[in-house]
Amino acid sequence: MGSMYGILKAEYIKRYGTQKWEEHNRIIEDFWQGIRKKVFDLNLDYPNTRLYQDGLPVCGKEMAIIEELVKMGSHNHQILMELIQFGAKLEGTEDPNLLLEEYTYLKEGSAHLDDPKGKRKYQKLAGSLLQKRDAYIAQRIDKTLREGETGLLFIGIAHRVNEQLPEDIETDYLIYRLPFKEGFFRYEKES
């Protein structure tokens, strides 16, 4: 949802003020530095590591998307780029049609957040869409993660991908509870 950054930033500042926005950004900076440290402390076998990213469509242009987001200063995507440079393999993670549908809901839904009825309708649709996305992501991981490989999934905490993975994929959590709804999971396919 990078294209909505300006709108989201303006809304945040309008609601909470510039000082809170700057404080929020400092917290985010510290947060991603902590995640980076935890990821590299895993001492992964990079050529046998697959990377999955929340919001990254299966489209044949995954690397170009990551490169663009790195240029925009995304800490998350900077970590992905480092892992790729060490030999990890980037995988398209999400169904582009579901992402487009969510983008439309976000864009249209934000206009109805002041209306309780509109807000409930939006939340119901968003929850249903999240379940569909999770199912697709779980299928994508199962399809692409090979025996003996490790998969790293960077995902928002509202997701429940782990509940839809097959039993032969062992799930480990790098971080359990996070502010700002960001999560990180590590998956390994059992031999």
Chain centroid, CA 106 distance in Å: 16
Query: Is the pLDDT score of 3 beyond 50?
Result: yes
Given pLDDT bands bounded at 50, 70 and 90, which one contains residue 177? very low
Question: Pick the residue with more confidence: 108 or 74?
Answer: 74
Q: Which tens digits make up the pLDDT trace of 152-166?
A: 999 988 888 999 999
- pLDDT, tens digit, 9 for 90 and up, residues 4-16: 677 778 888 888 8
| Burial environment of residue 5 by CB neighbours within 10 A (0 to 12, 13 to 18, 19 or more) | exposed
With 0-12 / 13-18 / 19 or more C-beta atoms within 10 angstroms meaning exposed / middle / buried, residue 74 is middle
Instruction: Write out pLDDT tens, residues 106-150.
Output: 777 666 666 777 667 777 777 789 999 999 999 999 999 999 999
26-30, 101-105, 114-118, 132-136, range with greatest mean pLDDT: 132-136
**Residues 183 and 156: beta-carbon distance below 8 Å:** yes
For helices 116-144 and 96-109, angle between their N-to-C axes, nearest 10 degrees: 160
Give the number of C-alpha atoms closer than 13 A to the C-alpha of residue 66, restricted to the C-beta side.
26
**Coil vs helix vs strand at 55:** coil
Mind listing the pLDDT tens digit for each residue in 34-59? 899 999 999 999 999 999 999 999 99
Task: Check whether 82 has a pLDDT greater than 90.
Answer: yes
- State both tokens at 102: 């969510």
Each domain of the chain, given as residue ranges in start order, spans 44-189
Give first-to-last CA distance, the chain, whole Å: 36
